[in-house]
Chain A
Amino acid sequence: MSGGVDSAVAAARAVEAGHEVVGVHLALSRNAGTLRTGSRGCCTIEDSMDAQRAANVLGIPYYVWDFSARFKADVVDDFIAEYSAGRTPNPCMRCNERIKFAALLEKAIALGFDAVATGHYAKIVTDDAGNRELHRASAEAKDQSYVLGVLTAEQLAHAYFPLGDTPSKTLVRAEAAERGLSVAQKPDSYDICFIPDGDTRGWLADKVGTETGDIVDRTGAVVGSHEGAHSFTVGQRRGMRLGTPAADGKPRFVLEVRPKENTVVVGPKEALAIGVIAGSRFSWAGLAPEQPETAFGCEVQIRAHADPVPAVAQLVDGELVVTPGHPLDGVAPGQTAVIYVGTRVLGQFTIDRTVSAVPVDA
């Protein structure tokens, strides 16, 4: 229970479904802030108190479990390392993979629990043979199946998403109000929970330090300078302060980040188009496809709120290779691509390699 409305209603529904429910708040920071600020919706003492008040209203026990050491190592330090390597990680996915459905789940099982229930918007569907599948939520606008795409069959076997069937968050808020939960109108959280003011670039600069480097175009010509390649992400347009205008006068975008050389490559929007994405770190959310070596139709989604794109996927020499039906914009290595078949999450992979849809001299 984060202290937000979703986990509070999820807990309420779990109680109502007849389960024996215990509220657990994860302590993820050793020096949590006192009060909520702006759009942040977790991780302060106020949030912890909100979670406890919700548990009180539901009449369930409530505990705070400290996973701060693991969260730092597996999520925060990983986030810094990925950015430093020129990749764009998704820390919420990492948290689901390593904390909520690994450290927390394992501890819970050892302590006698059957499942970890969360306020995520996603569905678990059991097929005729009893296999569990992960599906998109009924509330399309809030669907969080993307950030759960990292879950494996073993993890899904112990996961429970009571909000999956609800058509909208508005209904969840209304239900919270009806149940007398004080968090009914609490604002949604958007930012990364461990970056208090939402200033990811400033936060990274603090952690990684700044070092002046070159901004170059695709021919290698220096067109500007920057204070640290780690603060750029592929597809980014703003914040480069380029002195030399492009020959064609059009805006330029980050095409590539080369942390080893501390260099950022920029170019026209067309050059962002990616024709193929591939990665060898993948997992299946439930049953694996029977013949992944044979090309199969699917949809691919590369960000939490991106539109899915029809694609063809194939496992080639241990690498999952996905060719979208049309080129994708702004794909950054390190991002996670989640593969769907209809509403079902088939699996995910970390993008290691991309192939441009447009040759350099185009």
Chain B
Amino acid sequence: MVYLDHAATTPMLPEAIDALTAALAVVGNPSSIHSAGQQAKRLLEESRERVAATLGADGIEVVFTGNGTEAVNLAIKGLWWQRRTAAASAAEPADGSSPARRRILMPAGEHHATIDTVEWLVAHEGAEVVELPLDEVGRLRLDVLADELERGAESIALVTMLWANNEVGTIEPVEEVARLTARAGVPLHVDAIAAYGQLPIDFHGIRRATDAPRGSGLVALSVSAHKIGGPAGIGALVLDRSAAVEPLIHGGGQQRKVRSGTQDVAAAASFAAAAEIVADRLDADTARMAALRDRLIAGVADAVPEARLSGDAGAGASVRLPGNAHFSFPGCEGDSLLFLLDAAGVAVSTGSACQAGVPEPSHVLMAMGRSEADARGALRITIGHGSTDADVDAFLAALPAAHAQAARAGLAARATSFDR
């Protein structure tokens, strides 16, 4: 099996598996007071510091969560509730017209972890969402964001955005947004789940470079372990000391009282092992991945000239995730291509994996102004830490036949020869 769906999940690093199994044998609840508890606590906090170091943050700023989605939920809902509470306790205008920080600024084409969380706040908590447009490569329109911030920063609860788009790989102008929000006094959450392990991330560095005041600018950042070779079932939210969030989970008050629940020491240790290796090898690995990716993109262009690359066509790892290639194949259903490639032993994706495996036209491509037919023919090929030249060769060898056959199958909505 040639595995080219590393953006969905990537194989665990051997060191992460070793760290996991070794730590599973450690007895003790890190919240216990006795020596066994202290041993577990030590392993947990060392792991937290090691993860923090790969993100340019301090250990105390890292809140472990059950996964990336929980980190995103905690950031968005937690900041929303905290900002609403703070606004309510502040002096309201005498005419009662306070917009009271009801607005959430969110680019189009975000991951569903963000979209669905924000939509929930709209439906249940009276939030108002301002969807910021993307350009044709999937990059946030900074001018629109700047206008929105200028128009009424005091009405904004938070800004949330992807560091890099998980489908089309476009790297977003995070530092510029951090600067704009810092200046406007608005908190920013960045979903770095797709970017982690593929780009350098320096949380404090960005806060410093953007002169972020307390509670504003980049204050929260989400990551997930299984995207970098750690285990599934653990993510983290980096939360600046100055950023208060309401917890989603109440209980024993673990982790700054932000995320109660007995902490998973073994998962944290495994996460830390993966994070450290990935950070150490980042430059070499991303250069290697980008070279494989560029060869894959060139190979697709040769094999299927009508294939259209989505996202930023720039080479290297600064404008597009080094592991990401994403194409639309006109006149084909992405699920036909996926099926045929799978049958040929090559695992790729039509976009982000979704519930019940129902492929839908990508909302990211739609937000980039592409047609529904274009969006239906989308295929995402993602390279990871273990990918080789042979993987790319196998994909390029399987593609022409799969494409020819998928093109014959055509689009599901069209008329068939059996119609009468």
Bound together, the chains give a CA A318 to CA B405 distance in angstroms of 39
Given contacts A98-B419, A102-B418, A102-B419, contact A107 B360 (CB under 8 A): no
Residue in B335, B405, B410, B417 whose CB lies within 8 Å of A66: B335
B277 at the A interface (CB under 8 A): no
B81 at the interface (CB under 8 A from A): no
Contact of A32 among B339, B342, B356 (CB under 8 A): B356
The closest CB in chain B to the CB of A48 belongs to B356
Do residues A49 and B335 form an inter-chain contact, with CB atoms below 8 A?
Answer: no
Contacting pair A63 B419 (CB below 8 A): no
- The answer, yes or no, to whether A101 is at the interface (CB within 8 Å) is yes
Judge whether B405 and A154 touch: CB under 8 Å. Answer: no
Docked pose: A49 CA to B335 CA in angstroms: 18
**A64 part of interface (Cβ distance < 8 Å):** yes
Q: Are B413 and A112 in contact (CB under 8 A)?
A: no
Q: Which residues of A contact B419 (CB under 8 A)?
A: 98, 102
- Is A242 located at the chain interface by the 8 A CB criterion? no
A64 interface neighbour in B356, B413, B416, B418, Cβ under 8 Å: B356
- List, in ascending order, chain A residues with CB within 8 A of B412's CB: 65-67, 69-70, 103, 107
In the complex, which of the residues B343, B358, B413, B418 contacts A70, with contact meaning CB atoms closer than 8 Å? B413
A111 in the interface (beta carbon within 8 A): yes
With A and B bound together, what is the CA distance between A155 and B419 in angstroms? 10
Taking the complex as formed, is A283 at the interface, i.e. its CB lies under 8 A from any CB of chain B?
yes
Contact assessment for B405 and A106 in the assembled complex, using a CB-CB cutoff below 8 Å? no
Interface centre among B355, B358, B418 (most CB of A within 10 A): B418
Query: A45-78 vs B: 1/0 string, CB under 8 Å?
Result: 1001100100000000101111101100100000
Q: Check B356–A106 contact: CB distance below 8 A.
A: no
Q: Least Cβ distance of B382 to chain A in Å?
A: 20
Known A-B contacts A65-B335, A66-B335; the reply to A103 vs B416 at CB < 8 A is yes
Contact of B416 among A61, A73, A102, A152 (CB under 8 A): A102
List residues of chain B with CB within 8 A of the CB of A65. Answer: 335, 412
B96 interfacial by beta-carbon distance below 8 Å: no
Say whether B336 contacts A66, CB under 8 Å. Answer: no
Q: Determine how close the nearest CB of chain A comes to the CB of B28; give it in whole angstroms.
A: 37
Q: Which of B336, B355, B358 contacts A111 (CB 8 A)?
A: B336
Task: State the Cβ distance, B35 to closest chain A Cβ, in Å.
Answer: 45
* Complex Cα spacing A283 to B333, Å: 31
Give the residue of B356, B405, B413 whose beta carbon is less than 8 angstroms from that of A110.
B405
Task: Give me 9 A-to-B residue pairs in the complex whose CB atoms sit less than 8 angstroms apart, sorted by A's number.
Answer: A48-B356, A48-B358, A66-B335, A73-B413, A103-B412, A106-B409, A107-B333, A111-B336, A152-B420
Which residues of A line the B interface, CB within 8 A? 22, 25, 27, 30, 32, 45, 48-49, 52, 61, 63-67, 69-70, 73, 98, 101-103, 105-107, 110-112, 152, 154-155, 283
Residues of B within 8 A of A (CB): 333, 335-336, 338-340, 342-343, 355-360, 405-406, 408-410, 412-413, 416-420
Besides A48-B358, A106-B417, A110-B405, 5 other A-B contacts (C-beta < 8 A): A27-B356, A45-B355, A64-B335, A106-B418, A111-B406
